């Protein structure tokens, strides 16, 4: 965390999906998996994607139906994933599949590392509202995954997935790309002529909110360093960060509607309250796990 803060003004490689996959490999992966994947990931030689969401199980992730069947030396995976960021460029994917369909839906799930060049993997890009092709459909047709690419215990992948999701929510709450943070707003304001009083007041409020949300992210990190489960704090961080990113984009665009960069960011941040768990799902997690309200039937 200290290194991250000290390097904040330097241009560094963006690890993308690996930023929340790597901590799970550190916590649950074998020594061999860590030695095989971590150096290349940190060097930017390995790009990752996340094979979690499915057409019938997006934010209700535990409802996934992708099957993993035991075969000689490993597992055969069959199913469909969707909204998979950067799948068309990824070398490896972190993948959830059901290994024991007769068990309750949060049990019987296993966490796999999938070689995206494997026979049976098909990637089809999807066009976003801003014209990009960030997301993809991914089809798995009898894709072989050897036993040594299972992370954690078989049938206990939900625990590993929750760890990954907590890192994802903190990262996405901090904006999953450039251009939607209070620091980006400050750089934008520095290039503009003087602001009206109401605009200065809104900029000050957004800056203060950004600082507070960053502090929430630090709290989650410190909790994990102390050995605690991040719990619902990562959902709070994600929820507030997404709304904040949208407000930043809208405010910066309102100051200069001719700025194509910020008009593009308004479109880009529309997806922020969906990706990484929808706003509704985050509110459920906060209600049930932080406020101890009755579970949603």
261: region left, alpha or beta (phi > 0 left; psi from -120 to 50 alpha): alpha
Residues annotated as catalytic (active site), given as ranges: 168
The owner of tokens 């074998």 is: 30
Q: Tell me how far CA of residue 245 lies from CA of 13, 183, 184, in angstroms.
A: 21, 11, 10
| CB neighbour list of residue 262: distance below 8 Å, 6 or more residues apart | 179, 188, 249, 252, 253, 256
Asked if 66 and 80 count as a contact pair (C-beta separation under 8 A), the reply is yes
First to last CA, the chain: 39
Coil/strand/helix, residue 75: strand
Instruction: Give whole-number Cα distances, 155 to 68, 100, 112, 148, in Å.
Output: 11, 7, 11, 15
Could you give the 3-state DSSP secondary structure of residue 148?
helix
Q: Which long-range contacts (CB under 8 A, 24 or more apart) does 39-43 make?
A: 41/15, 42/15
């Amino acid at each position: 965390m200290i290194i991250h803060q000290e390097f904040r003004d330097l241009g560094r490689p963006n690890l993308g999906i690996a930023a929340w996959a790597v901590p799970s490999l550190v916590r649950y992966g074998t020594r061999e998996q860590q030695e095989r994947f971590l150096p290349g990931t940190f060097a930017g030689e390995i790009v990752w994607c996340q094979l979690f969401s499915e057409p019938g199980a997006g934010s209700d992730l535990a409802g996934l139906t992708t099957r993993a069947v035991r075969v000689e030396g490993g597992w055969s995976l069959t199913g469909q994933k969707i909204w998979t960021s950067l799948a068309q460029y990824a070398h490896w994917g972190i993948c959830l599949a059901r290994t024991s369909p007769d068990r309750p839906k949060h049990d019987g799930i296993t966490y796999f590392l999938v070689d995206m060049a494997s026979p049976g993997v098909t990637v089809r890009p999807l066009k976003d509202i801003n014209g990009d092709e960030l997301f993809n459909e991914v089809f798995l047709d009898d894709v072989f995954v050897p036993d040594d690419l299972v992370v954690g215990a078989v049938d206990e992948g939900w625990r590993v997935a929750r760890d990954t999701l907590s890192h994802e929510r903190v990262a996405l709450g901090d904006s999953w790309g450039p251009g939607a943070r209070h620091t980006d707003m400050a750089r934008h304001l520095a290039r503009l002529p003087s602001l009206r009083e109401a605009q200065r007041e809104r900029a000050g409020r957004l800056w203060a909110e950004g600082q507070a949300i960053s502090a929430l992210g630090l709290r989650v990190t410190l909790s994990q360093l102390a050995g605690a489960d991040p719990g619902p704090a990562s959902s709070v961080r994600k929820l507030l960060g997404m709304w904040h990113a949208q407000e930043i984009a809208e405010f910066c665009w309102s100051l200069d509607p001719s700025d194509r960069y910020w008009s593009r960011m308004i479109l880009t941040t529309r997806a922020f309250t969906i990706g990484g768990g929808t706003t509704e799902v985050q509110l459920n997690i906060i209600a049930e796990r932080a406020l101890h309200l009755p579970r949603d039937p």
